[in-house]
Amino acid sequence: MMQRRGTEASQRYEARRQREDESPRLQAEVPALESLKLEIEERRGDARNPETTYIRRIVVPSAPALFALMCGERDCEDGGHDITYPIMASLRRGQTTFEGEDVCHGSVRTTTCGRVLHYKATATYRS
């Protein structure tokens, strides 16, 4: 069981890495973007307080224009949070602060995962 789980995890990692490699670069998509910081909170769907919080500073010159984050639920299968579209739309509009949420549609055993990811972004642009 542990070996299969490790193999599945490595396959997911490789698939994610390939998506990142094939994605256009963030700098090419939003040339004026200078910096981007994402404050991430993740919680169970029915909880009020986040279980996980972290800050992700994006290295703009080399980062892919892809914002697909793994689900924080250890037992979640086929889930995650692809927040690429709303983030890229906000960056293309030149917004300096924006936020949003995404619900995981993966599964945990026999039920939908339902973890909620909330992000708050702060961006700076060159004049």
* Mean of all residue pLDDT scores within the chain: 90
pLDDT beyond 70 at 3: no
3-state secondary structure of 76: coil
SS3 41: strand
pLDDT reported for residue 117: 96
State pTM to two decimals. 0.85
Closest CA to 89 of 100, 81, 103: 100
Contacts for 51 with CB less than 8 Å, ≥ 6 apart: 42, 43, 44, 72
| Model pLDDT for residues 79-112, shown as the tens digit of each residue | 999 999 999 999 999 999 999 999 999 999 999 9
pLDDT surpasses 60 at 2: no
CB 117 within 8 A of CB 94: no
pLDDT computed for residue 12 by the predictor: 67
